[in-house]
Structure 1
């Protein structure tokens, strides 16, 4: 294990709780299903017969999720599998080559873009962002490092937790508001303006708090420095060089352009529980913080390339993997989390995510990029709390992939 990683040593139960938070943190909201598939994705290979992995992903369905698709790349080769249903009311399984919404698994892509600009000397990691991005009310003490590491103190436009743990909605509130606003377009400047209208959580650099606004500012920073859109920079610097043909940067397009499983949102409205197909969503609400679409294969290629040193100089990769002490069990660095799963398991890097509603993504890698776990989970109509129902099957899947089924002890 590289000494530069300085992983947070946790696994159970604290580790899994933190990792579940990493999966489901960062957003609040929406989408319905695209009828036409404009992008053709090659069928994924069936891979080896690994019943322990199939059993592990089936556990998500048994816990109440609609479907799951997973890809494992390790010393035994590649395995792909799915469980559950592609859509409610149909017996077809989710496509193992399907596209899905990444949510906050977008953040490592964004952080990599910023750090590439740092490597080129176009951005200084610890210089005021205001030097590059004049914005009303942007505190001059905030640096690019603080944005990527969530230490800026800037209010989270997707919602915050009060000191007593009460959730305070952002621009989109859970429930009916989410359903009604999920197709709206948002300008990134307007998201920032909303966040700046709220009190900062703390003085820049003095605390840690997950805020999607940090990555919205990072998007604006990338666009200001390069003179190109975030989407074009993503294609130029990462997607095309790595051959990620099925990864889609955020745009105003509400559908998923290829084979996919549908995601659903269960909510209470006027005393009645309702279930809505939220596959269609407008990615501009999350943008560089969580608006990308991809496949498990593309996520594997990206995260393996990143961790094997193909996208960043070694010095900046080390910076990326250095957890901020105040991020606690999440072990958050610059757009990635670093965690030691225990003596039988080793260290993993990850950033999971959830879209506005309906979809969750998983993305893990060993430090050398040789073993990865990527995939997607879709919500259905079961009466579950996803962040709680996710914990046990998630723990078991990590054990099977990274611990050989032995657990952390």
Structure 2
């Protein structure tokens, strides 16, 4: 297996532009779970003449104004009523309709599942959150300024480890790596070839490497493949019939789904990238799911169906997660963002971005839930960093509209 890296042989201006946008995409990985929208959810809100459904209107805006090919949403009210929404087209070539509650790649929503598995193991006495990762993976976490004896399991789950993000070393052109199988240990080597970003526990910074190690931890402790553990511990018990862990080498999406799109350069022509080897995300983002299943998972998680009270308390104990951004009140627990909304409630959930699909959503303490998925990354529908952030924010604003309107 050869790992495709960014190379100096690429056209230099394009490479520099790609790196600039990569930094924005890295920021989106952070914001993807915790962008609080100040003020009222004006984007997609009904005017005083009265649009009958603000969510439908907002979904259409994401298609017609932001350029996302398709939008899927599932919204659950306090009393359990679920509404599905779609907009756009599920196939740009054929014009096929967007399947209601279609399957999408979950991206970093997977981290909440991964954290839940680790926390179950903690509840069983097999993992200590404040034990160094060295205890479980001896000799593995080493590098310039990187010492596995000083990075705890909690640091990994809460993104306070200071570990560099391995995804920054991958080729920024998704079509160059779409069929590449990545072994988790080789991806870890990419991260450990870079120096530490900061001392463990000193601050918060999102890094996919943390959850790569969490997956390896699960395999070491259980002696079983990570996908099997996440299936047997989370997916099957909760009855998430449209959620699955792709098998090694599996590149398609099994059930009814809208096609996912990407561009070779930011804001360039959209091309079908539905078929993709998701191993590049593994325990940090490999799951396939639906908006309804994500609502069900987060509702069950916060409702105490997945973890015992002690472990759920650990998961929802947060640290500030918005340094340097416009989201001063956003916080991160162990695989969960806490995002205050304009209507006075808090959204507990995550977000996810993987080539072809971007999602955001969560649940509130009073039983509301919403998930919105779009079929391209913000970096594919916009060319400049400002436009990318704006498109991404509009996805999150639609979730706020769904919760608050």
- 8 A Cα contact 1:20 1:391, kept in partner: no
Counterpart residue number, 2:157: 148
- 8 A Cα contact 1:130 1:139, kept in partner: yes
Give the Cα–Cα distance (whole angstroms) in 1 for the partners of residues 172 and 122 of structure 2: 37
> Counterpart of 2:82 in 1: which secondary structure?
strand
Give the Cα–Cα distance (whole angstroms) in 1 for the partners of residues 317 and 264 of structure 2: 38
* Residue 261 of structure 1, aligned match among 258, 262, 268: 258
- 8 A Cα contact 2:175 2:264, kept in partner: no
* Residue 304 of structure 1, aligned match among 294, 299, 303: 299
- 8 A Cα contact 1:60 1:390, kept in partner: no
Give the Cα–Cα distance (whole angstroms) in 1 for the partners of residues 139 and 279 of structure 2: 20
User: Does residue 185 in structure 1 map to residue 181 in structure 2?
Assistant: yes
User: Does residue 378 in structure 1 map to residue 375 in structure 2?
Assistant: yes
Give the Cα–Cα distance (whole angstroms) in 1 for the partners of residues 400 and 204 of structure 2: 29
* Residue 124 of structure 2, aligned match among 117, 120, 125: 120
Counterpart residue number, 2:274: 279
- 8 A Cα contact 1:119 1:313, kept in partner: yes
Deviation at 1:149, TM superposition (A): 0.5
* Residue 286 of structure 2, aligned match among 291, 296, 299: 291
**CA deviation map 1:302-333 (0-9, x unaligned):** 11100111111222212211221355434111
Deviation at 1:350, TM superposition (A): 1.7
Measured at CA, do residues 202 and 21 of structure 1 come closer, stay the same or move farther in structure 2, by a change above 3 Å?
Answer: closer
Q: How does 1:143-182 map to 2 (within 5 A)?
A: 143-159=152-168, 170=169, 172-175=170-173, 178-182=174-178
> Counterpart of 2:220 in 1: which secondary structure?
helix
Counterpart residue number, 1:69: 72
RMSD (Å), alpha carbons: 2.3
- 8 A Cα contact 2:33 2:350, kept in partner: no
Counterpart residue number, 1:315: 310
**Higher mean C-alpha deviation, range 148-157 or range 323-332:** 323-332
Counterpart residue number, 2:139: 135
- 8 A Cα contact 1:22 1:353, kept in partner: no
Measured at CA, do residues 281 and 75 of structure 1 come closer, stay the same or move farther in structure 2, by a change above 3 Å?
Answer: same
Deviation at 1:219, TM superposition (A): 0.2
Deviation at 1:173, TM superposition (A): 2.4
- Give the count of matched residue pairs: 345
Deviation at 1:268, TM superposition (A): 3.5
Measured at CA, do residues 100 and 106 of structure 1 come closer, stay the same or move farther in structure 2, by a change above 3 Å?
Answer: same
Deviation at 1:204, TM superposition (A): 1.2
Deviation at 1:393, TM superposition (A): 5.1
Measured at CA, do residues 268 and 400 of structure 1 come closer, stay the same or move farther in structure 2, by a change above 3 Å?
Answer: closer
Deviation at 1:61, TM superposition (A): 0.7
Give the Cα–Cα distance (whole angstroms) in 2 for the partners of residues 221 and 180 of structure 1: 30
Give the Cα–Cα distance (whole angstroms) in 1 for the partners of residues 361 and 88 of structure 2: 20
The structure with higher relative contact order (CA 8 Å, sep 6+) is 1
**CA deviation map 1:39-82 (0-9, x unaligned):** xxxxxxxxxx9622211211211221110000001136110010
Counterpart residue number, 1:389: 391
Deviation at 1:273, TM superposition (A): 4.4
- Length-normalised TM-score, structure 2: 0.80
> Counterpart of 2:332 in 1: which secondary structure?
coil
**CA deviation map 1:22-50 (0-9, x unaligned):** 3289xxxxxxxxxxxxxxxxxxxxxxx96
**CA deviation map 1:279-308 (0-9, x unaligned):** 111111100101110111211211110011
Gaps of 5+ in 1: 1-17, 26-48, 160-169, 405-409
- 8 A Cα contact 1:105 1:363, kept in partner: no
- 8 A Cα contact 1:133 1:224, kept in partner: yes
Counterpart residue number, 1:36: none
Give the Cα–Cα distance (whole angstroms) in 2 for the partners of residues 232 and 192 of structure 1: 21
**Higher mean C-alpha deviation, range 326-335 or range 311-320:** 326-335
Gaps of 5+ in 2: 1-26, 35-50
- 8 A Cα contact 1:72 1:374, kept in partner: yes
Counterpart residue number, 2:37: none
**Higher mean C-alpha deviation, range 104-113 or range 57-66:** 57-66
